C-alpha cells in the first residue's frame, strides 16, 4: 500500500481536519504514475486531499464528515470521454431510434407514429439505422419514406452520422432535384438518373444542417445527453462538435446553466464546412485553452475523410469488398495544410477526423509540415479516430508526439463489416496494443452517439476486441484493463492539457470520481460489461447514484 500523500498540509485530529467526505475500504485505482491501488480517499469540497490506507485516512474525519464505505468496490478517476457529440446524442433522443427496429418496414411505422402527432411541414427525424442489420439488407429510399408522409420533410440518418436518407418533400424544400450536381465531398445517390434520397457525406451534412433543430430542442437534448453520460461515470467530455458556431454557443450556455454538468473541452470544428469554421475561429482571436475548468476551447478540428463503416473512409488501397472504391476526401492536402498550418502557427492545438490510412497519413504530414515551419514544444496535436494505422504511420505518430483518439467500441459495433471491407487491415485498425507498446498516449473516445457512451463498454471492447457477433477482430491489438482505464482517464486529461487538474486520484486534483458496483481489476474480461456505475462524483458532489438509498 502506498504512503499517505498530501499529509503535510493536513492537521490530524481536532477541529482543523478539512475532509468533507471520506471513501473507505475501496479498490481505489489511482491511475498515478505507478498505477497504484489504495484503500481510501479524502476530499475537501471539490478537491482530493489525501489517498492512502483506511488507517491513514480515517483520522481526517470529524463529526461533519460524510463517510462512505466502498465495501471493496472500485473507485476510479471520473471517466473522460475524449470524443463524443453531446448535441447529436441529445437531439437523437428526440427523434425515432433506428437502432431499436430491425427492418425498413418497422422504421416506417415508427416514423408514421411520429408524423401522426407532428404538424404538417415540420421535420420528422430518425437516426441510427444500419442497412447491414436490417432484414431488407439495404438503405431506405425516398420512396420508402414517402409512404410515411409526403407533407412532412423526413430525414433518417445512418448510424455512422455520415449518410442519410430523405423523402421527396425534404428534397423539394432543399431545392435538390435530378439535375442538381453533387456537392464537393459528397454524393446524391442516383438510380437511372433519379435521386434515391440517399445522401452521402457532404450531401448529408448539408441536408442535416438544413433540417436543424431549434435552440430550445438543442438545449433539451444537451440536458438529456449530460444526464445519460453522468449515469455512465463520465465527468469530462471532449465534445467533438456539431454544426457551426451556434453549436459552441449553445453548448457554452448549457454548461453555464448546468444543463450540461460535465466539464467540456470543445473541439473547435463543424460537421459542415469544417475549414470555414476553423478559419473563423482563427480570425476571431480565440484559441485552445480559452475558458475555465468547466469549459475550454479545444483544438481546431477539420474533417479529412468519411466513416469506417459506410464505408467512406479514405484508404491507401481499395476496399476488399469493392476494388473500385477507396473512400471520400472532404478536403485536399493543400487546404488541409494551409488551414491547420495557420492554426498551429496561431498557437492552437490541431486535430482532424481521419479514419482511412490515406487520411491518417495526410494528417501526419500536415502536422509534420506545421511543426517544421514553426517549432513548438508540447503541441499535443491529435488525430480523431485514426482508424487505420499501419506500422510506418505508427512510427511517424510516435516521432511527432501525436495523440491518437481511437474508438475501440467501433470494433464491437462494426467489426464484422470491417473484415468484409478492409480484410487483413483490421489488424491495424484502432491499434491500441501497438500504441501502448510504443508509449503513444492514446485517449479513448466513444464517438457517441455513433457507439454507446458507456466507458465500461469501451474498456470491455478495448480488452476483448469482440464484435457484436462474438468474433474477435484483430486479436493482437487487445490491451489490459489497466491500460484501457488509463486511456479513459489520465490520457484524456493529457489530451486537453489538464493532467495537472484531473485524470488521476491524487491530492490536489479535482474530486471527479466514479464508483463501480464491483472490482474492475479482478473482474473476468468477459464479464466486464456486468459492471455498472454506482456513484458519479463531480466537483466533490454526488451527481449520480444508481441506488438513491446507498448514500446518505
Ligand atoms: Zn466524431
Centre of ligand 1 to C-alpha 451, Å, is 10
What pTM value is reported for the model? 0.91
Q: What is the pLDDT of residue 17?
A: 58
The domain 7-78+510-545 is classified under which CATH number: 3.40.50.720, 2.60.40.1930, 2.30.40.10, 3.40.47.10?
2.30.40.10
Asked whether the predicted pLDDT for residue 456 surpasses 90, the reply is: yes
Centre of ligand 1 to C-alpha 250, Å, is 18
Centre of ligand 1 to C-alpha 107, Å, is 25
- What is the per-residue pLDDT across 481-518, written as a single tens digit (0 to 9) for each? 999 999 999 999 999 999 999 999 999 999 999 999 99
Q: What is the pLDDT of residue 273?
A: 85
CB 281 within 8 A of CB 339: no
Fold annotation for 95-210: Diaminopimelate Epimerase; Chain A, domain 1 (3.10.310)
CB 165 within 8 A of CB 199: yes
Centre of ligand 1 to C-alpha 84, Å, is 6
Q: What is the pLDDT of residue 549?
A: 56
* Side-chain-facing half-sphere of 306: CA atoms under 13 Å: 27
Centre of ligand 1 to C-alpha 159, Å, is 12
For residue 231, how many other CB atoms are within 10 A of its CB? 17
Reported confidence tier of residue 1, pLDDT bands at 50, 70, 90: very low
Q: Map grid coordinates 458507456 to a residue.
A: 454
Q: List the Cα angle 473/475/476 in 5-degree steps.
A: 135
Q: What is the pLDDT of residue 3?
A: 42
Asked whether the predicted pLDDT for residue 6 surpasses 50, the reply is: no
Q: What is the pLDDT of residue 245?
A: 83
Q: List the Cα angle 30/72/8 in 5-degree steps.
A: 45
Centre of ligand 1 to C-alpha 110, Å, is 27
Q: What is the pLDDT of residue 508?
A: 96
Distances from the Cα of 197 to the Cαs of 102, 202, 267, 329, in angstroms?
A: 20, 14, 31, 21
- What is the per-residue pLDDT across 387-417, written as a single tens digit (0 to 9) for each? 999 999 999 999 999 999 999 999 999 999 9
Helix (H, G, I), strand (E, B), or coil: what is residue 67? strand
Q: What is the pLDDT of residue 16?
A: 60
Q: Map grid coordinates 436518407 to a residue.
A: 165
- Residues of the chain with pLDDT > 70: what percent? 96
The domain 81-85+213-495 is classified under which CATH number: 3.20.20.140, 2.20.25.90, 3.40.640.10, 3.30.1330.60?
3.20.20.140
ω into 263 cis (within 30 of 0): no
Instruction: Retrieve residue 93's grid coordinates.
Output: 433522443
Centre of ligand 1 to C-alpha 69, Å, is 38
For residue 92, how many other CB atoms are within 10 A of its CB? 24
Centre of ligand 1 to C-alpha 307, Å, is 9
Q: Map grid coordinates 484531473 to a residue.
A: 502
Centre of ligand 1 to C-alpha 447, Å, is 5
Asked whether the predicted pLDDT for residue 479 surpasses 90, the reply is: yes
Asked whether the predicted pLDDT for residue 5 surpasses 50, the reply is: no
Q: Taking the chain, what is the end-to-end CA distance rounded to the nearest angstrom?
A: 29
Asked whether the predicted pLDDT for residue 439 surpasses 70, the reply is: yes
Asked whether the predicted pLDDT for residue 7 surpasses 50, the reply is: no
CB 142 within 8 A of CB 174: no
Centre of ligand 1 to C-alpha 385, Å, is 8
Centre of ligand 1 to C-alpha 397, Å, is 20
- Sorted by sequence, the CB contacts under 8 Å of residue 171 that are 6+ apart come out as 142, 177, 195, 197
- What is the per-residue pLDDT across 52-102, written as a single tens digit (0 to 9) for each? 999 999 999 988 999 999 999 999 999 999 999 999 999 999 999 999 999
Q: List the Cα angle 305/430/226 in 5-degree steps.
A: 80
Helix (H, G, I), strand (E, B), or coil: what is residue 268? strand
Could you tell me which residues are beta bridge partners of residue 429? 388
Average pLDDT over residues 6-11: 46
Instruction: Retrieve residue 130's grid coordinates.
Output: 444500419
Centre of ligand 1 to C-alpha 416, Å, is 20
Spell out the domain ranges in the chain: 7-78+510-545, 81-85+213-495, 95-210
Centre of ligand 1 to C-alpha 352, Å, is 10
CB 509 within 8 A of CB 538: no
What are phi and psi for residue 331, nearest 5 degrees?
A: -150, 155
Centre of ligand 1 to C-alpha 360, Å, is 15
Kindly report the average pLDDT of the chain as a whole number.
94
Asked whether the predicted pLDDT for residue 4 surpasses 50, the reply is: no
Amino acid at each position: 500500500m502506498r504512503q499517505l500523500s498530501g499529509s503535510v498540509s493536513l492537521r490530524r485530529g481536532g477541529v482543523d481536519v478539512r475532509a468533507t467526505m471520506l471513501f473507505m475500504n475501496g479498490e481505489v485505482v489511482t491511475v498515478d504514475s505507478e498505477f497504484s491501488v489504495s484503500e481510501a480517499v479524502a476530499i475537501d469540497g471539490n478537491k482530493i486531499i489525501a489517498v492512502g490506507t483506511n488507517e491513514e485516512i480515517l483520522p481526517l474525519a470529524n463529526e461533519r464528515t460524510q463517510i462512505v464505505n466502498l465495501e471493496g468496490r472500485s473507485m476510479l478517476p471520473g471517466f473522460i470521454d475524449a470524443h463524443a457529440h453531446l448535441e447529436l446524442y441529445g437531439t437523437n433522443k428526440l427523434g425515432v431510434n433506428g437502432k431499436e427496429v430491425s427492418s425498413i418496414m418497422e422504421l416506417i411505422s415508427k416514423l408514421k407514429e411520429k408524423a401522426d402527432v407532428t404538424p404538417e411541414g415540420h421535420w420528422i427525424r430518425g437516426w441510427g439505422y444500419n442497412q447491414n442489420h436490417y432484414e431488407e439488407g439495404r438503405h431506405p429510399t425516398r420512396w420508402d419514406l414517402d409512404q410515411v408522409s409526403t407533407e412532412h420533410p423526413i430525414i433518417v440518418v445512418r448510424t455512422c452520422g455520415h449518410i442519410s436518407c430523405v423523402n421527396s418533400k425534404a428534397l423539394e424544400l432543399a431545392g435538390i432535384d435530378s439535375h442538381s450536381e453533387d456537392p464537393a465531398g459528397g454524393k446524391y445517390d442516383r438510380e437511372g438518373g433519379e435521386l434515391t434520397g440517399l445522401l452521402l457525406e457532404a450531401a448529408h451534412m448539408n441536408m442535416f444542417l438544413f433540417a436543424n433543430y431549434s435552440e430550445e430542442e438543442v438545449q433539451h437534448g444537451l440536458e438529456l445527453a449530460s444526464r445519460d453520460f453522468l449515469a455512465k461515470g463520465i465527468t469530462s467530455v471532449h465534445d467533438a462538435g456539431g454544426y457551426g458556431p451556434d453549436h459552441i454557443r449553445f453548448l457554452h450556455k448549457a454548461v453555464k446553466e448546468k444543463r450540461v454538468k460535465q466539464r467540456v473541452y470543445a473541439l473547435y470544428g463543424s460537421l459542415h464546412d469544417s475549414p470555414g469554421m476553423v478559419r473563423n475561429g482563427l480570425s476571431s482571436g480565440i484559441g485552445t485553452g480559452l475558458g475555465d475548468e468547466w469549459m475550454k476551447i479545444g483544438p481546431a478540428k477539420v474533417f479529412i475523410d468519411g466513416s469506417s463503416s459506410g464505408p467512406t473512409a479514405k484508404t491507401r488501397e481499395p476496399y476488399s469488398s469493392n476494388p473500385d472504391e477507396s473512400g471520400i476526401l472532404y478536403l485536399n492536402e493543400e487546404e488541409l495544410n494551409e488551414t491547420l498550418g495557420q492554426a498551429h502557427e496561431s498557437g492552437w492545438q490541431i486535430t482532424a477526423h481521419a479514419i482511412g490510412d490515406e487520411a491518417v497519413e495526410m494528417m501526419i504530414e500536415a502536422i509534420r509540415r506545421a511543426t517544421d515551419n514553426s517549432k513548438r514544444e508540447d503541441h499535443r496535436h491529435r488525430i480523431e479516430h485514426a482508424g487505420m494505422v499501419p506500422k510506418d504511420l505508427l512510427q511517424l505518430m510516435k516521432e511527432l508526439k501525436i495523440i491518437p483518439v481511437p474508438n475501440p467500441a467501433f470494433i464491437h459495433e462494426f467489426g464484422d463489416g470491417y473484415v468484409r471491407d478492409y480484410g487483413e487491415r483490421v489488424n491495424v485498425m484502432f491499434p491500441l496494443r501497438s500504441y501502448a507498446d510504443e508509449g503513444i498516449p492514446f485517449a479513448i473516445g466513444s464517438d457517441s452517439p455513433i457507439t454507446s457512451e458507456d466507458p465500461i463498454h469501451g474498456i470491455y471492447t478495448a480488452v476483448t476486441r469482440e464484435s457484436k457477433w462474438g468474433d474477435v477482430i484483430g486479436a493482437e491489438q487487445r490491451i489490459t484493463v489497466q491500460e484501457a482505464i488509463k486511456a479513459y482517464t489520465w490520457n484524456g486529461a493529457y489530451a486537453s492539457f489538464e493532467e495537472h487538474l484531473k485524470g488521476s486520484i491524487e491530492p490536489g486534483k479535482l474530486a471527479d470520481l466514479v464508483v463501480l458496483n464491483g472490482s474492475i481489476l479482478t473482474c473476468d474480461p468477459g464479464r466486464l460489461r456486468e459492471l455498472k456505475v454506482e456513484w458519479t462524483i463531480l466537483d466533490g458532489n454526488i451527481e449520480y447514484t444508481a441506488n438513491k438509498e446507498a448514500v446518505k
